Structure 1
């Protein structure tokens, strides 16, 4: 009989871990693994990546979870490989092939025309194999049951798009290398399928990697293997502070008395110009208190940290 697994003693952990999610692992499983390695009490991720996708997955711990929505709304940048001439049931390599078509001559001129057609505001029909819900049920649940339900098109924006010929696939098919910076809610699998349809041959994605989300880039990320290899005492050093989620916020620092009243939800008056997004800090020691906006000289509280969280963050700092 194997020995019982030791119970992990959780602790308050605050900050952002930039994870390079591995292939084959769901976003939630990656989150739970990182949460276990850090022995964190509270954690959440900032938007899912498919198990067959890799790359930037910001994980928020403790107080940082209060600002995770900002990363959900951020633009994302992806690199993908599209296999031409083969459509699959899921739009990626996981699904069975449902159609084979000849590819024909894919010239640079044709690729440029397709690139222009898919750059800017476009409409997408969400794929059946997605977590989007209809009548309280995820679309992939209908798909697994063999049902195809009607989906309303969604407006998204492809801010930047690069398409170029790639290497021949394992199936002997021509491929395209795609790099796209897109708005939230964009399905890259659908983009790959739509590009294939525009070329008249169909396509599916064989690889997908998120290389940036907002201002976070993959070069800043750590893998689960590297995190696990660190001594436990050093793992928390890979965390960025919660304020790293607030790059577009103006910084306002409050003295002790005003800081306490701000944390109680009270507006403060000062000589600030109108500002839509403010990160508010205590002065000594410098610690994030929360977010706010300024209107007519008043600092109006938004999402606030609790006094307990602030004390824990000050204790956590090296």
Structure 2
């Protein structure tokens, strides 16, 4: 006898950003789907994956906010990275088999010097266990098949590396890393280990910030499940929180209506690669744009119903 079908949960239009604290062992997409079901949202997407073995901040976009997810993808990131010195593993993290063991004889000064060496503008060779594609196929697919392919170095920026703790007995080093998008922390861990002469792998990783969004404001799936629906709704942030580091442009009502139609508007403002645009009401977020040669040019626009929904929320 077949199992009874579950009743279909009605979905609803939601617009906003939920800051989720993703647990270890759950994929970013699985975390998204669980949150989407709890929120009963019609449309949702995340802003860049966290590995299965990583935890921490995963901004989830609902409805109109999905239009601006790229801003979060492009934003700087911050991580707490735990390195195990003296041991290198396949794939550069705790999941891979041990490849080599070496004695660890490092000083705090040597660790600080190694971290300083990798601060600033650096080049990284992407790891084989990554989602970067080669000939239309993700590198991790090659890695699972035992195939290693040549990868070109990529330029990234490490804004700062601060040492949070060093436990010599456990060979455990914990770092606070602030970096640009596209930085591979497992590669950074391996490179620091090689510079110290003992090797290293990444034993734990937690994302603590993405752009102006902070893990301190995030909620776990268990916490989300324990709330009532109205309480869950109060956790949604406005879509423009993803653009908080961009200059603000405010338009009068007649100009706002034309802007929402995709028409270019004249402006005395200086050129800017990215701005967030509002109507006359303080909460009337309209979309993102850029300014070139005295013209405000729309990039991503909300629809009039989406603007109204946000004003009423």
For residues 13-45 of structure 1, the C-alpha deviation after alignment (integer angstroms, 9 at most, x for no partner) is 111111111111111111111111111111111
RMSD value over aligned CA atoms? Answer: 1.8
For residues 124-164 of structure 1, the C-alpha deviation after alignment (integer angstroms, 9 at most, x for no partner) is 11111111111111111111111111111111111101236
| Partner in structure 2 of residue 38 of structure 1 | 39
Q: Per the alignment, in what secondary structure is the counterpart of residue 11 of structure 2?
A: coil
User: Where does 1:154-303 land on structure 2 (aligned, <5 Å)?
Assistant: 154-163=154-163, 165-167=165-167, 173-284=170-281, 286-303=283-300
Q: Any gaps of 5 or more consecutive residues in structure 2?
A: none
| Partner in structure 2 of residue 61 of structure 1 | 62
CA distance in 2, matches of 1:189, 1:35: 30
Q: Give the C-alpha shift of residue 77 in structure 1.
A: 0.8
| Partner in structure 1 of residue 137 of structure 2 | 137
Q: Per the alignment, in what secondary structure is the counterpart of residue 58 of structure 1?
A: strand
CA distance in 1, matches of 2:306, 2:214: 27
**Contact persistence 2:164–2:176 (CA under 8 A):** no
For residues 72-103 of structure 1, the C-alpha deviation after alignment (integer angstroms, 9 at most, x for no partner) is 11111111111111111121111111111111
| Partner in structure 2 of residue 124 of structure 1 | 124
TM-score, structure 1 normalization: 0.92
**Contact persistence 1:52–1:208 (CA under 8 A):** yes
**Contact persistence 1:111–1:164 (CA under 8 A):** no
Q: Any gaps of 5 or more consecutive residues in structure 1?
A: none
- Is 2:143 aligned against 1:146? no
CA distance in 2, matches of 1:28, 1:145: 23
| Partner in structure 2 of residue 25 of structure 1 | 26
| Partner in structure 2 of residue 12 of structure 1 | 13
- The 10-residue stretch of structure 1 (289-298 or 199-208) with the greater mean CA deviation from structure 2: 289-298
CA distance in 2, matches of 1:203, 1:290: 44
Q: Give the C-alpha shift of residue 313 in structure 1.
A: 2.4
Q: Give the C-alpha shift of residue 274 in structure 1.
A: 3.9
| Partner in structure 1 of residue 102 of structure 2 | 101
Q: Give the C-alpha shift of residue 112 in structure 1.
A: 2.1
TM-score, structure 2 normalization: 0.94
CA distance in 1, matches of 2:163, 2:272: 39
